[in-house]
Amino acid sequence: MGRKNRRVEHAPRPNFGGNESTESHPDGEWHVRKLTGSAATKTYRCPGCDHEIRPATPHVVAWPADMPQGADERRHWHTPCWNNRGNRGPRGRT
Ligand SMILES: [Zn+2]
Protein backbone atom coordinates (compact mmCIF):
# COMPACT_ATOMS: atom_id res chain seq x y z
CA MET A 1 0.00 0.00 0.00
CA GLY A 2 1.33 3.35 -1.02
CA ARG A 3 1.28 6.56 0.75
CA LYS A 4 -1.29 8.99 -0.52
CA ASN A 5 0.15 12.10 0.88
CA ARG A 6 3.71 12.71 1.52
CA ARG A 7 4.02 15.55 3.90
CA VAL A 8 6.99 17.76 3.76
CA GLU A 9 7.80 19.24 7.06
CA HIS A 10 9.28 22.67 6.93
CA ALA A 11 11.79 23.07 9.61
CA PRO A 12 11.71 26.46 11.23
CA ARG A 13 14.48 28.64 9.97
CA PRO A 14 17.12 29.30 12.52
CA ASN A 15 17.09 32.79 13.84
CA PHE A 16 20.27 34.62 14.36
CA GLY A 17 20.21 36.51 17.54
CA GLY A 18 16.51 37.13 17.70
CA ASN A 19 13.45 37.70 15.60
CA GLU A 20 15.38 39.01 12.66
CA SER A 21 14.48 38.62 9.03
CA THR A 22 15.04 40.21 5.65
CA GLU A 23 12.12 41.77 3.83
CA SER A 24 11.89 42.93 0.26
CA HIS A 25 10.32 46.31 -0.25
CA PRO A 26 9.91 48.57 -3.27
CA ASP A 27 12.94 50.52 -2.14
CA GLY A 28 15.13 47.54 -1.51
CA GLU A 29 15.83 44.88 1.02
CA TRP A 30 15.59 45.62 4.67
CA HIS A 31 16.75 43.79 7.72
CA VAL A 32 13.91 43.80 10.15
CA ARG A 33 14.07 42.93 13.81
CA LYS A 34 10.96 42.62 15.85
CA LEU A 35 11.44 43.77 19.38
CA THR A 36 9.35 42.58 22.23
CA GLY A 37 8.14 45.00 24.82
CA SER A 38 10.68 43.82 27.31
CA ALA A 39 13.48 44.54 24.83
CA ALA A 40 12.30 48.08 24.25
CA THR A 41 13.82 50.12 27.00
CA LYS A 42 14.06 53.53 25.41
CA THR A 43 11.79 56.02 23.76
CA TYR A 44 12.20 56.25 20.00
CA ARG A 45 10.55 58.36 17.38
CA CYS A 46 8.74 56.52 14.65
CA PRO A 47 9.53 57.92 11.20
CA GLY A 48 6.21 56.64 9.94
CA CYS A 49 3.92 58.74 12.08
CA ASP A 50 6.37 61.02 13.85
CA HIS A 51 5.11 59.92 17.22
CA GLU A 52 7.06 58.44 20.06
CA ILE A 53 7.44 54.76 20.65
CA ARG A 54 7.26 54.39 24.38
CA PRO A 55 9.44 51.97 26.32
CA ALA A 56 7.97 48.49 26.65
CA THR A 57 6.12 48.88 23.37
CA PRO A 58 6.72 45.98 20.99
CA HIS A 59 7.92 47.47 17.72
CA VAL A 60 10.13 46.98 14.69
CA VAL A 61 13.70 47.99 13.98
CA ALA A 62 14.61 48.18 10.31
CA TRP A 63 17.70 49.11 8.37
CA PRO A 64 18.76 48.79 4.74
CA ALA A 65 20.21 45.39 3.92
CA ASP A 66 22.46 46.68 1.17
CA MET A 67 24.36 49.04 3.39
CA PRO A 68 27.49 47.68 4.97
CA GLN A 69 27.05 50.21 7.72
CA GLY A 70 23.32 49.71 7.69
CA ALA A 71 23.22 49.14 11.39
CA ASP A 72 23.93 52.83 11.79
CA GLU A 73 20.81 53.56 9.80
CA ARG A 74 18.49 51.66 12.06
CA ARG A 75 15.07 53.12 12.49
CA HIS A 76 12.51 52.19 15.07
CA TRP A 77 8.97 51.92 13.80
CA HIS A 78 5.62 51.10 15.29
CA THR A 79 4.75 47.71 13.89
CA PRO A 80 1.64 48.96 12.03
CA CYS A 81 3.56 51.96 10.69
CA TRP A 82 6.21 49.67 9.28
CA ASN A 83 3.59 47.42 7.77
CA ASN A 84 1.85 50.38 6.17
CA ARG A 85 5.05 52.00 5.03
CA GLY A 86 4.47 51.28 1.36
CA ASN A 87 0.97 52.71 1.51
CA ARG A 88 2.06 56.03 2.80
CA GLY A 89 1.14 58.85 0.51
CA PRO A 90 3.10 62.03 0.23
CA ARG A 91 2.46 64.18 3.19
CA GLY A 92 3.51 67.63 4.02
CA ARG A 93 4.85 68.86 7.26
CA THR A 94 2.53 70.80 9.40
ZN1 LIG B 1 4.42 55.13 14.07
Domain edges within the chain: 20-86
Q: Is the pTM of this model over 0.75?
A: no
Q: How far apart are alpha carbons 62 and 15 in whole angstroms?
A: 16
Measured in angstroms, how far is the CA atom of residue 67 from the centroid of ligand 1?
A: 23
SS3 23: strand
Measured in angstroms, how far is the CA atom of residue 22 from the centroid of ligand 1?
A: 20
Q: How far apart are alpha carbons 53 and 79 in whole angstroms?
A: 10
User: pLDDT per position in the chain (94 positions), as tens?
Assistant: 666 777 666 555 544 456 889 999 888 899 999 999 998 999 999 999 999 999 999 999 999 988 766 667 799 999 999 999 876 555 544 4
